[in-house]
Structure 1
Amino acid sequence: MSSTDARTVDVLDVSDLRFAGGTSHSIAEEVKAQHAAGYSTGLVHVNGPLVAKVCPINPQITNEVELGHAELLVRRDPIRAGVVVIRHPAVLQDAARQLPEIEADHVVIVANAAPHDIDGHEHYQPELVSEVARRQFGPEPLWAPIGPQVRAAIGSRVPQGSLLDSDWVNVIDVDAWAVERDGWHDDRPVVGRHSRSSPQKWPSDAETLRAVYPVDGSWIVRILGGAEPAEALLGELPPTWEVHDFGAMSPHEFLSGLDFFVYYHDPKWVEAFGRTILEAVASGIPAVIPPHFESLFGPAAVYAEPRDVRRVVDDLFADRAAYDAHVAQAKQQVRSRFGYEAHITRLTQLIGAPAAGAEASPPAVEASSPYTGTPVTAVEASTGADTEGSGGQASSVFADVPGVPPDTAAPRALFISSNGSGMGHLTRLLSYASRADTELEPYFLSLSQAAAVVETFGYQYEYLPSMTATGLAPGRWHAYFAATVSQAIERIRPSVVVFDGTWPYEGIPAVRQAFPDVRWVWSRRGMWKAGQGADRLVKSEWFDLVMEPGDFAASEDRGATAKAEAARLGPVTLLDLDQLDDRATARAELGLDPDAPMALVSLGAGNINDTSGDVGASIAALWSLGVQVCVTRPEIAAGGGGHRDVHVVRRFPLSRHYRAFDLAISACGYNSFHELLRFRVPTLFVPNRATALDDQEARARFAAEQGLGHQLPAVTVDAAKPLLADLLSHGSDMLARLRELDPGNGAAEGAARVVRLAG
């Protein structure tokens, strides 16, 4: 294509411009920002697979065209663009043949949604979309997830190096959304939500629904977008709710009549971004939303579990000063992180200054607002990608891995972790891999939503959503598991697969039959609750080797695995004692007082201010002894986690910094139990009795009976104080006995067994 024959624009937006919701709104907002900064914008419409009915281009986009902010390119003439921005991968996958000839310096695929719906239906295949983009435009495409949830969903399925470091978040004209507010709208909180009336956009059970949108008249609840899913759950629409159909009024008008915006959805639904949340905050009201949004919106919103929503709203309603302070800082966060300047910065970092277009005018943001994203960097095209026959479930995290390793290369191992309720399975596999990676190449496939930590160890990984995360029926999910594992094996050609979990999945025999030369290992911890899980042990026949990571409390093991055949290892921890930071370094790394007594609280979710619960009582007892408190992030219930005297620690592996702590209050999961004892942290153990299989009570009992620590079935201030005081005074002496009981870290032996089996 001759550049003189082509229509030239700085930015070419390609999408199905009929989308009714956030995708079109986002395009319109970016067009405004681009025009204000002097960039020229072209729009190319294609009929994608997600809009089933015949309808016109979204009015917001039409308005931008009519204002001269963008040009709608409808002819088949060739186009030359600095960057092509694809909005929604499914559009490119299904409708690329509708595109004219396009030449581009850069291509960005904005992933507005995860590949799968809540019912498991796959709207697009990232592997295929990447290949289509290369074929259509030439340059290696960059993938831009719209937020952390989508990043987690696609991160393992796009070519290595193609994922932008920062999310392509939606942007908003903060000043245009601002609403003047004089005080409360009523003597009760006026709470509202705005979304499409889709089941996945609403809570999936009546209890949660009533908790976040009360039906008793204590709040005025207003809804824009219809409430059919709520009506189906409750049997009727509550008479205290005010419900308006989608489009009955503008979102700006709707938000101007609220004091709070509360948005909760089906927990299985991956909410890509939540543009209505951004609009609410920009309008000047607190957005109360689930904690998983925190990685996206940060301090701009208030986070609460459903059970805590009423308290959070009522507390802010009772304290106008606190309400106003939150609104002020939240709007500043929105301005700096989601304002027009943020978009122009990422665009400038990608293609430089405008090459053509209208005279630049100042964007509607403060010039001093910082852009907090990581700079965009171009990536070289990857080679060796195997996309043929990838199928609906294939992940491209291993796309640059040659199909068969040469004879001189190290054998490969695929480590598969189940999801569990914490980090135990994934951490054990990392324990083996990090001690074997000089003799084999580790690759990871994990059901844990924390799978991304694998990358910090330098290993490639793929995230496989669990049955719970996908919402699929068991039979369908096991087939999905088998297909995904088979595709991973086909790509990386491992000599051995290591599975860590307590219930091997039904798809494993099918995978073994398809790849009979691959050896399989089951890493299966013990300490199962008595009388449970015996039927799972028959699955040992599926494996060439069963390894059991040891347990300090093995003498208390009364479960099905106690006498089952296995290669028994020493207790497995990711680190050894000599790998820990010294006390000063650990405290500096965590930002802690170098001299004050310090405790770690690592229990189940709870409110730090509620002394009737384990977490709150633990903190109160420690404070009464003059001990400062650190909590791991998952243990803070939203709405109760902002206390200035509680330090939040968010490191992995946190055990590297255990010398920072004088004592701990912890549950008795495999990882925490063995790390705290092996690394000599005096601990009050509080077993989680709600586990399905793990016998935490037996571990806590063992520690107490052996004088290695103390235990409580539940924490009260009065019961905990004398035990904690004793740990402060004598904890180090109590743990000295562990030298006699610790046979050494079994991770090295486990790694050696895997290496031998890999051959």
Structure 2
Amino acid sequence: MYIESGASRESMKNSILFMPTNGAGLGHLTRTLAIARRIRKIDPNREIIFFTTSPAINLILQEGFLAYYIPSKMFFPDYIWSNQWNELLEKQLKLILQLHQPKTFVYDGAFVYYGVMAATEGITSLKRVWVKRKQNKPEKDVETKSKENFFHHIIIPGEYQINLDSQAEIKYHYCNPVIYLDKSELLSKDEVKEILKIPNEYKLVYIQLGAGNINDIESTLSILLSILENRKDLYFVLGESIITSNRIEISIERLLTLKDYPNSRYYNAFDLTISAAGYNTFFELMHFGVPSIFIPNEKTKSDDQVARSMVAEKAKAAIVLRNPNYQELENAIDNVLNLSNNMIIRNNTQKLNIQNGAEDIAKLILKL
């Protein structure tokens, strides 16, 4: 149970507890960090705590937030059952709630664990908020619909520009995609080339085909690198997730691997990005105006990357290739790297008018 209020604990009464879960990538963690950063900017004295199942807890600590960690069930041995793991989660979360007595609990995950519900139910002073990105494949929405009733508010980052309704009495709040960095935080092209030790005469191509935990990217990547290697004016940067367990070992002249967070801070430097169309990456690339070729991952459980990327292609803000062969990839690369085409595509990304929803969500949470 919560500790009774007292003068010595009054400063903790408005604290916010974020709980991003682990996923194939860093979407849940990135989203909550983006929101927490904006809350801290608006209200520097607000206590913000994290409790996560993501192994990338170091990213939270780097931002200066206090963080607690419990490994996902997948990291435990088989003899630990799901109900045992949930009991462990419940006990740890209850202790955190007792220590910090937050007024707001912000959960970001595709699935709500029993341990989360058991630990937070019955605390009348705790406002429960679920940041729940809308899934594109509707059959997957049905599985989590009943869990929404447990939360006081559902915040749904959408696909494109949406005006957030900030009325606290409304349960469902739709908003723009959440983007981690502000445009002012990106490095310049000269800064990136200096950091990565890339000579000025090269054009830069960034490759990010998805989180290695889901995608089988080797065949497409092999074709892609063969094409790029034949062009002597290019230097290519292969983005690698910091949580992937299988490093891609490639030794090619004019290629380097970038394993950093967030990689988006380098986006100003790239003349072309060849990428999957995952939610965070897609909207960051379009928001920051990077000419892109999207190769959507069609094997995700619930995320319709094809539909998302086709909106950009329709706006002539990107090229979309599905299961491309050598010639299709080569033609698309030549097309985007053409100087006049490159500028047209870059300008068209801004016509999509993708706004950052992070600050709107931060203001809403503070209003709650």
Counterpart Cα distance in 1 of 2:218 and 2:48 = 46
Tell whether the 8 Å contact from 2:25 to 2:211 is kept in structure 1 after alignment. Answer: no
Cα deviation 1:96-115 (Å, max 9, x = unaligned): xxxxxxxxxxxxxxxxxxxx
CA gap of 1:414–1:739, structure 2 versus 1, over 3 A, is same
Counterpart Cα distance in 1 of 2:120 and 2:159 = 30
Tell whether the 8 Å contact from 2:161 to 2:175 is kept in structure 1 after alignment. Answer: no
User: Quick one: which of 606, 622, 625 aligns to 2:228?
Assistant: 622
Counterpart Cα distance in 1 of 2:318 and 2:253 = 29
CA gap of 1:492–1:639, structure 2 versus 1, over 3 A, is closer
Q: 1:452 offset after TM fit, Å?
A: 1.1
Counterpart Cα distance in 1 of 2:11 and 2:20 = 28
Q: 1:410 offset after TM fit, Å?
A: 7.5
User: Quick one: which of 32, 54, 62 aligns to 1:456?
Assistant: 62
Counterpart Cα distance in 2 of 1:530 and 1:683 = 27
| Matching residue of 2:239 | 632
| Matching residue of 1:422 | 25
Q: 1:448 offset after TM fit, Å?
A: 1.1
| Matching residue of 1:543 | 151
Counterpart Cα distance in 1 of 2:147 and 2:175 = 20
Q: 1:639 offset after TM fit, Å?
A: 7.0
Tell whether the 8 Å contact from 1:546 to 1:567 is kept in structure 2 after alignment. Answer: yes
Please say if 1:529 is aligned against 2:132: no
The alignment partner of 1:699 has SS state of helix
Matched residue type, 1:412: S
CA gap of 1:433–1:410, structure 2 versus 1, over 3 A, is farther
| Matching residue of 1:412 | 15
Bigger RCO (CA 8 Å, 6+ sep):
2
| Matching residue of 1:501 | 109
The alignment partner of 2:139 has SS state of coil
Q: 1:645 offset after TM fit, Å?
A: 2.9
The alignment partner of 1:575 has SS state of coil
Counterpart Cα distance in 1 of 2:259 and 2:218 = 25
| Matching residue of 2:309 | 700
CA gap of 1:696–1:735, structure 2 versus 1, over 3 A, is same
The alignment partner of 2:112 has SS state of coil
| Matching residue of 1:687 | 296
Q: 1:531 offset after TM fit, Å?
A: 2.0
Tell whether the 8 Å contact from 1:618 to 1:715 is kept in structure 2 after alignment. Answer: no
The alignment partner of 2:252 has SS state of coil
Counterpart Cα distance in 1 of 2:295 and 2:218 = 15
Report the aligned-residue RMSD: 2.7
Paired residues for 1:74-153 under 5 Å: none
Q: 1:459 offset after TM fit, Å?
A: 0.8
Counterpart Cα distance in 2 of 1:611 and 1:493 = 45
Tell whether the 8 Å contact from 2:107 to 2:130 is kept in structure 1 after alignment. Answer: yes
Paired residues for 1:647-662 under 5 Å: 647-662=256-271
Counterpart Cα distance in 2 of 1:743 and 1:709 = 14
Please say if 1:486 is aligned against 2:94: yes
| Matching residue of 1:742 | 353
| Matching residue of 1:590 | 196
Counterpart Cα distance in 2 of 1:623 and 1:722 = 15
Cα deviation 1:543-574 (Å, max 9, x = unaligned): 111101121399xxxxxxxxxx7201111100
The alignment partner of 1:532 has SS state of helix
| Matching residue of 2:118 | 510
Paired residues for 1:239-258 under 5 Å: none
| Matching residue of 1:341 | none
CA gap of 1:461–1:611, structure 2 versus 1, over 3 A, is closer
Cα deviation 1:470-528 (Å, max 9, x = unaligned): 24322222222222211111112211111111111122332223533111110011133
| TM-score, normalised relative to structure 2 | 0.86
Counterpart Cα distance in 1 of 2:363 and 2:275 = 31
Tell whether the 8 Å contact from 1:431 to 1:575 is kept in structure 2 after alignment. Answer: yes
Unpaired runs of at least 5, structure 2: 163-170
The alignment partner of 1:571 has SS state of coil
The alignment partner of 1:521 has SS state of strand
CA gap of 1:447–1:637, structure 2 versus 1, over 3 A, is closer
Counterpart Cα distance in 2 of 1:458 and 1:722 = 45
Tell whether the 8 Å contact from 2:128 to 2:152 is kept in structure 1 after alignment. Answer: yes
Paired residues for 1:328-407 under 5 Å: 406-407=9-10
| Matching residue of 1:340 | none
Counterpart Cα distance in 1 of 2:217 and 2:355 = 39
Cα deviation 1:712-759 (Å, max 9, x = unaligned): 1224321111111111121331232343432521000101111112xx
The alignment partner of 1:713 has SS state of coil
Matched residue type, 2:180: L
Please say if 1:442 is aligned against 2:48: yes
Cα deviation 1:137-171 (Å, max 9, x = unaligned): xxxxxxxxxxxxxxxxxxxxxxxxxxxxxxxxxxx
| TM-score, normalised relative to structure 1 | 0.43
| Matching residue of 1:433 | 36
Counterpart Cα distance in 1 of 2:217 and 2:99 = 53
Matched residue type, 2:260: R
Q: Which moved more, 1:668-677 or 1:435-444?
A: 435-444
Q: 1:688 offset after TM fit, Å?
A: 1.4
Tell whether the 8 Å contact from 1:683 to 1:710 is kept in structure 2 after alignment. Answer: yes
Matched residue type, 2:240: R
Say which one has the larger Rg: 1
Counterpart Cα distance in 2 of 1:409 and 1:423 = 28
Counterpart Cα distance in 2 of 1:509 and 1:636 = 30
Tell whether the 8 Å contact from 2:238 to 2:257 is kept in structure 1 after alignment. Answer: yes
Matched residue type, 1:618: L
Tell whether the 8 Å contact from 2:161 to 2:176 is kept in structure 1 after alignment. Answer: no
Matched residue type, 1:682: P
Q: 1:591 offset after TM fit, Å?
A: 3.2
The alignment partner of 2:121 has SS state of helix
% identity of equivalent residues:
26
CA gap of 1:530–1:639, structure 2 versus 1, over 3 A, is closer
| Matching residue of 1:370 | none
Q: 1:595 offset after TM fit, Å?
A: 3.3
Q: Which moved more, 1:654-663 or 1:466-475?
A: 466-475
User: Quick one: which of 173, 177, 185 aligns to 1:579?
Assistant: 185
CA gap of 1:418–1:405, structure 2 versus 1, over 3 A, is farther
Tell whether the 8 Å contact from 1:405 to 1:411 is kept in structure 2 after alignment. Answer: no
CA gap of 1:448–1:517, structure 2 versus 1, over 3 A, is same
Tell whether the 8 Å contact from 1:605 to 1:615 is kept in structure 2 after alignment. Answer: no
Tell whether the 8 Å contact from 2:13 to 2:103 is kept in structure 1 after alignment. Answer: no
Counterpart Cα distance in 1 of 2:14 and 2:55 = 27
Counterpart Cα distance in 1 of 2:334 and 2:127 = 51
Tell whether the 8 Å contact from 1:508 to 1:542 is kept in structure 2 after alignment. Answer: no
**Structure 1 segments (4+ residues) deviating >4 Å:** 402-405, 634-639
Tell whether the 8 Å contact from 1:684 to 1:711 is kept in structure 2 after alignment. Answer: yes
The alignment partner of 2:187 has SS state of coil
Counterpart Cα distance in 1 of 2:91 and 2:99 = 12
